[in-house]
Structure 1
Amino acid sequence: MAQRAALLIGGVTHAQKEWKESSQFASQLYEYPDGTREDFISKCKQGVFKDVFALYRSNDSNKITGNFDAELLDALPKSLRFICHNGAGYDNIDIPACTQRGILVSSTPIAVNDATADVAIFLMLGALRNITQVFDSVRQGKWRGNFQLGHDPKNKVLGILGMGGIGSAVAHRAKAFGMRIQYHNRHQLPAEEEDGAKYVTFEELLKTSDVLSLNLSLNSSTRHIIAKPQFDAMKDGVIIINTARGLLIDEAALVDALKSRKVWTAGLDVFEEEPKIHPGLLEADNVVLLPHIGTGTFETQRDMELLVLDNLKSAIKEEKLLTQVPEQKKPKAHI
């Protein structure tokens, strides 16, 4: 069998032992812990990473190599067949270009579901209670400051845009608060996967949701899927939660909607140009802001790393991925 080496871009923090044990099935382990895109491409072209069959990269390592676009893919070893990505989102990988080159890509669904859903609920409760204003006031020695009454989650309609693993986990948690769940996907889920949630059109989701949670992937068709026309279609006083990707929302339009109170409050863990945040969001006291920490727990980070390494092992030993990205799979009846 031809040599099948593995390449780690960036680092492994919680599963270092398991990465080293990959030498049991990989012919060689290469590491590129830090550097620049130019240096990485140069080393690829020089053949430093020859025989690499599968590589491990992450959203964090994107600051080292930049996006996995056509330019970078062309520089990678011709032996590369698999990219094992650490992250639920993979918008920094050009999937069509990978597919064209015969490279299969995996991500880390399932491992991220619970932690991300927990943060979505945290943001939702904080937004419902308009927590930012009093949170700041008490720290400034002003006790309640300009305290205003909030809202209970009970009997509110939670609309979930993107009922995948994370969306389903959000729905499961929200039901414990007595919320009524509705959702929209490109296709309706089988009844057993809906768990009592109501399938509605995108338009109905916008018009009838009291709280709207974004839990869908970012791609060319979902960029700014929530912008001024969509805000205009929503209920007055709607609450927006986003733990997916910042570019799903037109932030300038959101700032305007928060100012007018069309959007009563929002809870955001992701931003259009993170780590940069729109000044209007920083100035608003009716938005709860977190710095993209949806998967930020020891347990989840380790689970994610282990899932990437499981994909790496499966790729090298069996030439298949455990959690291949859906864009490279044959279409199914639902998403």
Structure 2
Amino acid sequence: MVLNMQPMRTDSTIPRIVICGNLEFASAECESLFKGVAEVLVMNSLSSADLIEGMQPGGRYEGAVGILRQWNGFSHMQRAFIEALPSSVKYISSLGAGYDMIDIDACKEKGIIVAHTPGVGNDATAVTALYLIISALRRFSVAERQLRAGLFDASRVTQGRRDPTVRTLAILGLGGIGLRLAELVHAFPMRVVYHNRRPFVGAPEWCEYYGPGRLDEMLAMADVLSVHVPLRKDTVGLVDEAMIRKLKKGAVLINTARGKVVDEEAMIRALEDEHLSAVGLDVFPDEPTVNPRLLELPNATLLPHLGSISSDAQKLMEVRGLTNLRDLVLGLNVADLVPECR
């Protein structure tokens, strides 16, 4: 998955930037964006140690001022990595809305500005959540597994299969992805209720707001709870045993946010004792490892964290991330700075 590309320029008077990961769709745009702006170096390894070594005096990446973290590049940029970066590095542009894989505190201490690409994958991720809702309610993933095993008749059992129409979808954390999901399910129609700390500006009137004092009321009415909150210190385990048990018996839990937002053990217990009728998961606490107990549960629809992985979304993301890095190098205003760096 590594793109081997020679530097676009060797003019030592312009800055250097390093792309960590393979540009799958925006190589031409990269060349156009950085022509005359920066020398682009693409790593021939996905080892963070190789990058640090290459940034030493005389190394291939010596003097680089910026890094693009492609989604298929380094999975994490934690404190030890950030602290090992040379002082020349001033910018990190990360592809994807979530940036919990980067130690922002360490970046701030070192004077590194971090940008991300919020909103680009909203549609793709919302479509993934929609698939998980439909599959969990209609048990399509169970039927497919049975069909592939030659059990055609068994795959057609009606019991336990429900339509989304007229059911209630509760969205925990209405933002760009949650709003797009609300628009998609409104076509069935599903009733849409949501919980934020404050009402979401621009939410249509048919998205019913349940504030901090009404969370329990919202949970009790939910046929489906879809999680869309970012992973922060205060959201680890947010969807815990207490929250799950406040859902009506037979509810469905969907997570396309981050695995650690949900207490996995509490969720599995609720699946096993049938408080939850099904789950649809695109994310897991210890990716790429998936809890083997989930693999054994027929009422769990599981995807390998591919919410925003479509060719359309990935090209938009690559172009946006490259543009952010170009603008940072040029000293221009960048709207996509992570909140902690604004």
State the TM-score, normalizing by the size of structure 1: 0.90
**Equivalent residue runs for 1:1-335 within 5 Å:** 3-46=14-57, 48=59, 49-63=61-75, 67-145=76-154, 147=157, 148-190=159-201, 192-200=202-210, 201=212, 202-329=215-342
252-261 or 180-189, larger mean C-alpha shift:
180-189
Equivalent position amino acid for 1:199 in 2? Y
2:8 counterpart residue number: none
Tell me the CA shift for residue 40 of structure 1: 2.2
Task: Determine if contact 2:20/2:46 at 8 Å carries over to the other structure.
Answer: no
Tell me the CA shift for residue 3 of structure 1: 4.3
Quick one: distance in 2 between partners of 1:74 and 1:140?
Answer: 51
Tell me the CA shift for residue 16 of structure 1: 1.0
Output the aligned Cα RMSD.
Answer: 1.9
Secondary structure of the corresponding residue to residue 153 of structure 1: coil
- Alpha-carbon displacement from aligned partner over 1:32-61 (angstroms, at most 9, x marks no partner): 231423232223344633332322113321
Quick one: distance in 1 between partners of 2:49 and 2:35?
Answer: 31
Equivalent position amino acid for 2:63 in 1? D
Task: Determine if contact 1:59/1:90 at 8 Å carries over to the other structure.
Answer: no
Equivalent position amino acid for 2:69 in 1? R
1:194/1:53 CA distance change after superposition, 3 Å: farther
Tell me the CA shift for residue 131 of structure 1: 1.9
State the TM-score, normalizing by the size of structure 2: 0.88
Task: Determine if contact 1:45/1:75 at 8 Å carries over to the other structure.
Answer: no
Quick one: distance in 1 between partners of 2:285 and 2:135?
Answer: 21
Tell me the CA shift for residue 318 of structure 1: 3.2
1:282/1:320 CA distance change after superposition, 3 Å: same
The runs of 5 or more residues in structure 1 that have no matched partner are: 330-335
1:258/1:198 CA distance change after superposition, 3 Å: same
Quick one: distance in 1 between partners of 2:20 and 2:141?
Answer: 38
Equivalent position amino acid for 1:104 in 2? I
1:333 counterpart residue number: none
Equivalent position amino acid for 1:293 in 2? L
Task: Determine if contact 1:116/1:166 at 8 Å carries over to the other structure.
Answer: yes
Task: Determine if contact 2:19/2:42 at 8 Å carries over to the other structure.
Answer: yes
Task: Determine if contact 1:239/1:264 at 8 Å carries over to the other structure.
Answer: yes
Task: Determine if contact 2:225/2:254 at 8 Å carries over to the other structure.
Answer: yes
Quick one: distance in 1 between partners of 2:120 and 2:339?
Answer: 16
Secondary structure of the corresponding residue to residue 231 of structure 2: coil
Tell me the CA shift for residue 115 of structure 1: 0.7
68-77 or 156-165, larger mean C-alpha shift:
68-77
- Alpha-carbon displacement from aligned partner over 1:186-222 (angstroms, at most 9, x marks no partner): 33222x3345312213333333321111111111111
Task: Determine if contact 1:137/1:143 at 8 Å carries over to the other structure.
Answer: yes
The runs of 5 or more residues in structure 2 that have no matched partner are: 1-12
Secondary structure of the corresponding residue to residue 67 of structure 2: strand
Quick one: distance in 2 between partners of 1:323 and 1:54?
Answer: 15
1:221/1:144 CA distance change after superposition, 3 Å: farther
1:207/1:101 CA distance change after superposition, 3 Å: farther
